[in-house]
Structure 1
Amino acid sequence: MHSTGVEQGKVSADTLLAGVGELLERPLTPLTDGELVELLREVERAARMTVAVQHQLLIEVDSRSIPAHSGTKTIKRFLMETLRLSHAEAGARVHAATRVGIFRDLAGDEREPELPCTAAALRRGDISIEHARRITTVMTRIPGAVQDLDRVAAEQILTEFAITGSPDDIPKIGENILAHLDPDGTVTDDSDRARMRGIRIGRQRPDGMSPISGEITPTLRALLDPMLAKYARPGVGNPNDAASPGTEVDRVDPSLIAAAAERDSRTATQRTHDAFTLLLSGAVEGTGSGLGSHRGLPVTTVLTMRVEDVERLSGVATTATGGTIPISEALRLAEKSRPYLAVFDHAGLPLHLGRTRRLASPAQRLSLIAALNGCSRPGCDAPASLCAVHHVRDYRTGGPTDIENLVLACDHCHSLINDTDTGWKTVVLAKDSQFPGRTAWIAPAHIDPTRTPRINHRHHTAELLAEVVTNLHRQREHDRQQDRAAHRRWLRKQQPNGPAARTRAATTHPARS
């Protein structure tokens, strides 16, 4: 009798897990140095081949529209939620699968991968996923006008080098190939430049800094060069020099600019950074004139800070985009900001609109930004700037536009809320709950069969940390009580007239008949 596909897949997974488990339990000390190195190579090859299997699974999941059926919309978001991957890792896996994964057409026949040599080497375990990513980066930069045979040859050269070389050296080989294919840059056309354009702003690090990288088109370069020539020159826009002129540089005595330039110790890259800060501050701060509005608020920086942090001049303020900024810098920005104030009591801003209007007011949105920081669906990390205001109790069924009935939800998560079997639900937690007044989400049964209301801690790590610390204190106190009880029992056993002593006496001197 033939096994079903499910049974075969389960057997394969069990075999893989059993093999890995056996390796984990296997002692390594009996191995010779040569055997240890060989085992290291074999495990690395197996891990690389497993990546190719992951790509096939990812492609199959996507072809069956499983992400759409589960409400996660994209395969990237599905991987983040199902496998608990980071945003960057999930995106990297999807991108790699599209380049080196094997797809099938409507008839079920396999289609050759976009990078066939790279895909084959990865499936054999000859190269790592990092090799494949570096090869992909080089191949993306090859102009579209290059002949197909030259493109195939370039990928083959890169793959053959990757089999024996380090991923760090692939860009160098790639530069040589690109220089040969387009020595004077005439083959690259506007479509190639449009394809390669992009600016990447990485996630903010714990130290507050954010990495930025990318490639810009000749048009953007032509716009930036004169701006930087004026505002990134020495002596202009220096945040460490109160006498340094900013956007008003045209109205300042040239001798003052020259004096400021002599005091300017910034590097060229620091001056470029400060020029962007100077110009964007003028465009965004204040009324945000010329930039219009976004989700009912002017395009401006929204900062939320705690009173105790302001009093101590320490800590950080949070932005509507989920970033942080030191309190000292936030207060400097606030000097020119719009006079909005988030107040969380009934005597403050008009937060209660009842049934008089459906859309939340700017004051309500600002208060929600300050209180929630981002989307309220569990697991979602979308910042407040990407969120809409959602009525927990639907407005169509009588839900008021009051702050107690409003919550933030990003556009994607907002679309998941409906009354179908696959829809999400939102409820306000009762006063006797652990988080009274907070909005909890109830997942559909195919995601959470228990239908337990859950809240999002992604934007409130402090409360989650407090909960964990509280539980640890409770556990330690329980353990101490257990230890004290055990010690008391031990002491009772040691007492001369205690139960243990009487039992020993009865055993040593049995009663005479």
Structure 2
Amino acid sequence: MAANQAVALPDDPAELAALSEAVIAKLATAAFTASTEGQLLETAEILERANRRFDGATSALLAEISDRSAYRKAGFLSLHAYLAGGLRLGDGEAKRRRITGAGTARLANLQGETLPPVFPATAQAVADGAIGADHVVVIDEVMRKIPSAVDPQVRAGAESRLAEVARDLTPAGVRTAGHRLLAHLDPDGALTDERDRKRLRQFGLGGQDQRLMSKVRGYLTPELRARFEVMFDSWAKPGMNNPADPASPRGAAEAADPATLAAAAERDDRSLGQRQHDALLALLEAEQALRPGAGRALSSELVITVTDRELAEKAGVALTATGTRVPVGELVELAADATPHLAVFSHATGQPLYLGRGSRLANKPQRLMLFARDRGCTAHHCNAPFARTEAHHFPDWADGGPTDVDHLGAACGRHNRSVGKNVGEWETQLVIDGPARGRVAWRPRTPGRRAAWRVNQTHHAELLPIQGPHAPPAPEDSRIEAHLEHLLGA
């Protein structure tokens, strides 16, 4: 067939998607050995142009899914959750697709009107197959940095210029061009105002690496920076809050004995960065010591779970309620300094064996039991740590569900509110047999069929080879009580 010959294609999007999948499947088995070098290069360019147009088509599709909240039909609470968990893209790729869609798709406003793309020139370049999602992400990054005081027409011109250069440059090249553009729009930073600073502020902890260390990422407002500097000038002085020196003064330097501080400073060989790290740790320890008890909540207390084998061997990694992994070797120091609640459970079965200091408040033993069992939100693919969860009832409290351990599960606020009796909502139950016994299973209420029960493996990665979803029996099944007695060691 000639390259310029029109091909009759269906108008239905689902049929087009199925047809494109068939074409790609056929192309994946095609033999390129008979092609000339020129044909190979031409094919590569065609495929890349098609991939970029797919980005545009995907953005339009996601805009419709978002406008109609269609992701709820699959049991997800947001478009991001559907992309990350439902399509198994992960948070990074889900964010990239959301940014691409937000900038290039036609979204509906609250009145139901379809609006033009936020970045019209960029959207056209994607539709032409000239640029892809990676270009769009960089353009969005640059546009967010343009001060609010810049005239809207100038802002629109900047977007058009970025889309134009993106047709010829790599995403990294677009970022370089964007930096030059920003320098031209606001060379001395005079246009940046309080609105921009509030919009750009952020502070976050990166994930733990293989050494269990974490990087910090942030963009501080002048006020927060000033407060940090004042605190560091006192708490991070040489000799102050040195964990390696038992005689080092703790707290603020103004309250320390001058002679003791001077002697500690002579012994202090820490770098400035290490002293500031230790100052932050000391400040948080002091704040936690002054905080009143939190009742049933564990989010404001240090709670640690560890296996019996790891505790006996003094090796391995313990888990806190906020999701942080702590080497068991450091667990003793934490216990001495903070007197944490400690949940110990069997390495082989994951069943709680001992709950220390769990009876201080009436309902805290149940929360500790949930932490030992669930570790975090039990909803499918949710990675919220236990400190950000609530005690979820099944059946629901409004339907007479009791506040008993075998009728409770850890659920973050969003997933707790997602349980209901309507299509798109979730139902939950305790698994009482199979390798997932004692765990909380979830399934979405989907139209016309019963979805499979799902057990969240996110917080129990070490059990993945033997875990799997199992349909729980009816709540009144007597084996629930039998299993609960075994779980509690009764």
TM-score surpassing 0.5? yes
C-alpha contact (below 8 Å) 2:343/2:354 kept by paired residues: no
Give 1:298 shift: 6.7
C-alpha contact (below 8 Å) 1:342/1:349 kept by paired residues: no
Q: Distance in 1 between matches of 2:378 and 2:362?
A: 16
Q: Distance in 2 between matches of 1:265 and 1:460?
A: 41
Identify the residue that residue 323 of structure 1 maps to in structure 2. 324
Identify the residue that residue 479 of structure 1 maps to in structure 2. none
Residue 200 (structure 2) pairs with residue 196 (structure 1): yes
C-alpha contact (below 8 Å) 2:234/2:252 kept by paired residues: no
State the AA in 2 paired with 1:150: V
Q: Distance in 1 between matches of 2:327 and 2:173?
A: 39
The one of 379, 386, 389 equivalent to 2:388 is 386
Q: Distance in 1 between matches of 2:301 and 2:107?
A: 45
State the AA in 2 paired with 1:429: V
State the AA in 2 paired with 1:147: D
Alignment TM-score, normalising by the size of structure 1:
0.78
C-alpha contact (below 8 Å) 2:49/2:130 kept by paired residues: yes
Residue 338 (structure 2) pairs with residue 337 (structure 1): yes
Q: Distance in 1 between matches of 2:277 and 2:38?
A: 52
CA deviation vs aligned residue, 1:458-513 (integer Å, no higher than 9, x gap): 21122222459xxxxxxxxxxxxxxxxxxxxxxxxxxxxxxxxxxxxxxxxxxxxx
Q: Distance in 2 between matches of 1:388 and 1:228?
A: 36
| Higher deviation after alignment, 41-50 or 229-238 | 229-238
Identify the residue that residue 209 of structure 1 maps to in structure 2. 213
State the AA in 2 paired with 1:227: M
Distance 1:170 1:316, change over 3 A: same
C-alpha contact (below 8 Å) 2:377/2:389 kept by paired residues: yes
C-alpha contact (below 8 Å) 1:380/1:456 kept by paired residues: yes
Distance 1:120 1:310, change over 3 A: same
Identify the residue that residue 407 of structure 1 maps to in structure 2. 409
Q: Distance in 2 between matches of 1:176 and 1:33?
A: 38
CA deviation vs aligned residue, 1:223-269 (integer Å, no higher than 9, x gap): 11111233344444444555554425445565665665566555544
Identify the residue that residue 21 of structure 2 maps to in structure 1. 17
| Higher deviation after alignment, 56-65 or 410-419 | 410-419
Identity of aligned residues (%): 35
Q: Distance in 1 between matches of 2:259 and 2:194?
A: 44
Identify the residue that residue 305 of structure 1 maps to in structure 2. 306
Give 1:291 shift: 6.8
The one of 128, 135, 140 equivalent to 2:132 is 128
Identify the residue that residue 285 of structure 2 maps to in structure 1. 281
C-alpha contact (below 8 Å) 2:242/2:268 kept by paired residues: yes
Q: Distance in 1 between matches of 2:175 and 2:270?
A: 31
- Larger RCO (CA within 8 A; separation ≥ 6): 2
C-alpha contact (below 8 Å) 1:193/1:217 kept by paired residues: yes
C-alpha contact (below 8 Å) 2:394/2:408 kept by paired residues: yes
C-alpha contact (below 8 Å) 1:380/1:458 kept by paired residues: yes
State the AA in 2 paired with 1:465: P
C-alpha contact (below 8 Å) 1:418/1:424 kept by paired residues: yes
Q: Distance in 2 between matches of 1:266 and 1:400?
A: 54
Q: Distance in 1 between matches of 2:364 and 2:219?
A: 37
Residue 179 (structure 2) pairs with residue 175 (structure 1): yes
Identify the residue that residue 472 of structure 1 maps to in structure 2. none
Identify the residue that residue 84 of structure 2 maps to in structure 1. 80
Give 1:272 shift: 3.3
CA deviation vs aligned residue, 1:425-451 (integer Å, no higher than 9, x gap): 322333x433333332343243x9245
Describe the SS at the equivalent of 1:417.
Answer: coil
Structure 2 residues without counterparts, runs of 5 or longer: 1-8, 345-351, 469-490
Q: Distance in 1 between matches of 2:100 and 2:339?
A: 45
Instruction: Pick the structure with more helix per residue.
Output: 1
CA deviation vs aligned residue, 1:354-397 (integer Å, no higher than 9, x gap): xxxxx970122122112210122233222111111123345566
Residue 104 (structure 2) pairs with residue 103 (structure 1): no
Q: Distance in 2 between matches of 1:133 and 1:76?
A: 16
Identify the residue that residue 362 of structure 1 maps to in structure 2. 364
State the AA in 2 paired with 1:439: V
Give 1:348 shift: 7.4
Give 1:147 shift: 1.3
Give 1:60 shift: 0.7
CA deviation vs aligned residue, 1:94-134 (integer Å, no higher than 9, x gap): 23311222235689875321112222212222222222111
Q: Distance in 2 between matches of 1:172 and 1:260?
A: 48
State the AA in 1 paired with 2:309: E
Q: Distance in 2 between matches of 1:238 and 1:349?
A: 29
C-alpha contact (below 8 Å) 2:55/2:133 kept by paired residues: yes
Give 1:86 shift: 1.0
Q: Distance in 2 between matches of 1:367 and 1:151?
A: 55
Q: Distance in 1 between matches of 2:358 and 2:131?
A: 62
RMSD across aligned positions (CA) = 3.3
Distance 1:33 1:282, change over 3 A: farther
The one of 91, 105, 126 equivalent to 2:95 is 91
Give 1:210 shift: 2.9
Instruction: Pick the structure with more strand per residue.
Output: 2
Describe the SS at the equivalent of 1:440.
Answer: strand
State the AA in 2 paired with 1:126: A
CA deviation vs aligned residue, 1:177-215 (integer Å, no higher than 9, x gap): 222222232211111111111123333334423333231
Alignment TM-score, normalising by the size of structure 2:
0.81
